[in-house]
Amino acid sequence: MTSVHVDTVKRDGTERSADIDLRMPTCRGVDIEGLSIPQLQQCLESRKFSVYDLTACYLERIRRINGVLKAVIEINPDALDIAARMDCERNQGKHHGPLHGIPFLVKDTMSTKDKMQTTAGSSVLRGTVVPEDAHVVYLLRRAGAVLLGHANLSEWASMRSTYYSEGYSSRGGQCRNPYNLAEHPGGSSCGSAVAVASNMCAFSLGTETDGSIMMPADRNGIVGIKPTVGLTNGKGVIPESRSLDSVGTFGRTVLDAAIALDGIVDSSAIPPCTCKSPIIWPQWEWE
């Protein structure tokens, strides 16, 4: 399928009809649809395209299809500037690792110290700009990853109401499954999963208290990793439960999700609920 016809009703009651182009734009002539993080790194290292080119390609992908899927709640206006800086660092021999220059999205419960709002999808928090990155966001920035924006979610991470439409937020609208627009995308980290499944980013972050990573990963045919509580640091993430919340990752492959997880694992910040539990910190090497 290369296009889809969509009929929508605007707030003023008028109808709007449009054909949406689903084709993934090439990046400097390279078909990046479905490429893994290591494959993207190979393209960057061989200079088939730059981090700036790759980021621009994902932003164009979001522009083309997000009106239908509602996976992204806000675009980072500084994304291309960050990408250009990552290119400069790469050219200077400063390579931060397997996530250097790789574009990603975060669930809208994760604070970001920039021009974007952090709202948990709620209109109540519209306009909230925070002074500090969530710790996982800080770690990914330090690893050289490029933050594209905030992903939509089930409002308040499914805590808005007992009865609601899965994947809906008042700020982001109804997130939709890219494989079947009539099927729900799973929640609460729906936008993070849909964005990866539809090639709007290379990987993304979500949170889980009870199924909010596993369900959308399953519904959208991708890989989600819900780590043991305490393996990742929830500082700066709007919480549900201090003893059950985990920040996890989404990728198109197990390797992608694991590489992303490796970027946010932090052995220096174990929360009190797990401080007495033995945790074996993984020592992975990526080929």
DSSP state of 263: H
Report residue 28 as tokens.
């400097």
How far apart CA 160 and CA 153 sit, in angstroms, is 11
Show which residues are catalytic: 107, 188, 212
Q: Which of 246, 59, 251 is nearest to 136 (CA)?
A: 246
Report residue 271 as tokens.
């929360």
How far apart CA 185 and CA 164 sit, in angstroms, is 13
CA distances from 186 to 165, 212, 236 (A): 10, 8, 24
2 contact partners, CB below 8 Å, separation of at least 6: 21, 22, 23
SS3 147: strand
Report residue 221 as tokens.
């045919």
148 contact partners, CB below 8 Å, separation of at least 6: 55, 58, 59, 62, 72, 75, 76, 79, 103, 104, 105, 200, 201
Beta bridge partners of 149: 75, 105
Q: Which of 157, 170, 159, 187 is nearest to 126 (CA)?
A: 170
